[in-house]
Structure 1
Amino acid sequence: MSIVQDIITTYRKPQQVFATLLDGVVSESRSLAILMGGCVGTFVSSWPALARQAHLETKDVTDLMGGALLAWVFIMPLVFYVLAMMLWGIQRVLMGHARMDQVRIVLFWSFFASLPFMFLHGLVRGFIGTGAAQNIVGFIWFAIIVWFVTSGFKAISKLGKSHD
């Protein structure tokens, strides 16, 4: 399937998409590409808010975008790898049979598939500003990531039971 179709299917049947992603050996290059796509998408989603901030504070927007680029494209991938390690440890204690590459692809795809709501969050921050609307959209985005990660862990669990 195409990546857009996979994202749409993730919202309808997340365990099916995760079962497809987890089928066989998960390549590190694919995981990294998904993560970098999510980070670049998040960087792009921050543009409206950065433009608003630059306008309101009379700053140069390129300086703000440079900082966001550094944060989202160079630093956040490392943070996601550390987060994946922590989730792997938690998952090993609770369920006991996930591989690190499986946990990484689940976390990275969950982040990537939630990009439509991250774009909405960026638009709300850029056009409306901080406030209740931003908090509501941010909460929905976070809840979707938690839902996807939970569905991914269930898919790992089913995969582990079928191989036992």
Structure 2
Amino acid sequence: MALTTDIVASYRRPRAVLRSLQGDRREARILVYLMLACALIFVAQWPRLARDAHMDETIPLDALLSGALFAWIFIAPLAFYALGGMLSLVLRIAGPVDAFAVRLGLFWALLVAAPLMLFQGLVAGLIGPGLQANLAGLPAAVAFFAVLIAGLRVALEAPHRAA
């Protein structure tokens, strides 16, 4: 299936989509998912950063954008790989777990939530900080955690299916 079709399908049935994505077990593929998610989240920051630069001219827009670029493209992928490793270690308490499936679930959850983060970034840029901007981020958080939990459940059942 196409990537966008899989993302939309993940809102309805994330476990089925994650099971189908596990067929192709290449680390490069899930790295692309992570990098796409981080790039989309970086783009989602642009309206808010433009508003911040306009309201407070002490830090120019290009400095804010370069800081966000460094954070989301270089630092965040490393942090998410570390988080995936920690989740794998924690889930080993529950039983055998497939570390690749844990990383896939985490990175896929981030990619599924990224389009909703674009909406939240637009709201934060147009109306500024406040309750409405926080509420606009709620669907992204719910989607992220729902897909992450589904991915972790699939990761826990993956070794049992292989045996």
- TM-score w.r.t. the length of structure 2 is 0.93
* C-alpha distance in 2 between matches for 1:20 and 1:124: 34
Tell me the equivalent position of 2:56. Answer: 57
Aligned residues of 1:49 and 1:129 also touching (Cα < 8 A): yes
Aligned residues of 1:45 and 1:122 also touching (Cα < 8 A): yes
**Unaligned stretches of 5+ residues in structure 1:** none
Aligned residues of 2:48 and 2:124 also touching (Cα < 8 A): yes
Superposed, 1:1-164 pairs within 5 Å as 1-23=1-23, 26-58=25-57, 59-94=59-94, 96-164=95-163
Quote how far apart the aligned CAs of 1:23 are: 2.3
Q: Which amino acid aligns with 1:84?
A: G
Larger deviation: 82-91 or 130-139?
130-139
* C-alpha distance in 1 between matches for 2:87 and 2:145: 12
Aligned residues of 1:22 and 1:156 also touching (Cα < 8 A): no
Question: What RMSD in Å do the two structures reach over aligned CA positions?
Answer: 1.3
* C-alpha distance in 2 between matches for 1:138 and 1:19: 27
Q: Which amino acid aligns with 1:99?
A: D
* C-alpha distance in 1 between matches for 2:97 and 2:78: 21
**Secondary structure in 2 aligned to 1:93?**
coil
**Secondary structure in 1 aligned to 2:129?**
coil
Q: Which amino acid aligns with 1:7?
A: I
Q: Which amino acid aligns with 2:162?
A: H
Number of residue pairs matched?
162
**Secondary structure in 1 aligned to 2:92?**
helix
- TM-score w.r.t. the length of structure 1 is 0.93
Following TM superposition, the consecutive aligned residue runs of length 4 or more in structure 1 with deviations greater than 4 angstroms are: none
* C-alpha distance in 1 between matches for 2:70 and 2:32: 17
Quote how far apart the aligned CAs of 1:61 are: 1.1
1:118-161 CA-to-partner distances (Å, cap 9, x unmatched) read 10110111011111112222233222111101111222334333
* C-alpha distance in 2 between matches for 1:12 and 1:90: 27
Q: Which amino acid aligns with 1:119?
A: L
Quote how far apart the aligned CAs of 1:28 are: 1.2
Q: Which amino acid aligns with 1:159?
A: A
